[in-house]
Amino acid sequence: MCGEYGLRDYALSNSVLFTRYCGILAALRIKGRKGDGSAMPLSAVLWDLDGTIVDTAPIHWLAWRDTMAAEGRVLTYEQFARTFGLRNDLTVPALYGADVSKAEIARIGDAKEARFRERITAQPPALLPGALHWLAVLRSAGWRQALATMAPRLNLETLVASLKLSAYFETAVGAEDVERPKPDPQVFVLAAQRLGVQPERCVVVEDTAAGVEAARRAGMRCIGVNRDHAGLGADVLVPALDKLPPDAFARLVNGVQD
């Protein structure tokens, strides 16, 4: 008796989940042809990495703390927080002083990034809520996807490999691929070009004001993910990706606003 009802409840639960999944796919699906028979334009999602798909801030903190300790210096979390998100050529002078040489900046920065990759490989961080769901659903619906981040190439590749995410992305743009950091739009423009998708058909997923501004300058719509509910100026703002409505991406790329 119990087994019979348990099986029925299980089937019902899975039926509801399947129906919801099909509804999301229907909302996102890229149709092959317009009403006049012409091909529908491609659509794409350009993902920032840290703070949207995964939170690596604690790992960066430990890598910087250990690197500074090896240099005979004590780094407080407050000092780290003030420089987090900056490139190493800006972070190291902020910690050491403006007179630090380029060679020292490179040496210290490389040491920190090596420690970061060691920690990522030893214990990959968890994906943020909703990230894997949307990566999978968007891929199934025919959207093209790329990473567009200011992370160094080796860090990017280590994270993608450790988290087993390579199947979701057709290309990736990292720090070495661009000359100017966000809020310059170069990173998003290059990612769209590599995918062969027009800027107006791209949706950017970001967690920083600089990233949102870069998307705006690139002529792209943007979903802002911010757990502190801070106003980023994004077209859609959610505390986490699992809070997005099923048609969020489709509405943005089709120019529909609430």
The residues that are catalytic are 48, 50
Q: Please, which residues have CB within 8 angstroms of residue 35's CB and are 6 or more apart in sequence? A: none
Is residue 191 within 8 Å of 160, Cβ to Cβ?
Answer: no
Q: Which residue type sits at 53? A: I
Q: Please give the distance of CA 44 from its chain centroid, rounded to a whole number.
A: 13
For residue 97 the two structure tokens come to: 């002083």
Sheet holding 221-225, edge to edge: 171-173, 144-148, 44-47, 202-206, 221-225, 236-238
Residue 78 phi, psi (nearest 5): -65, -40
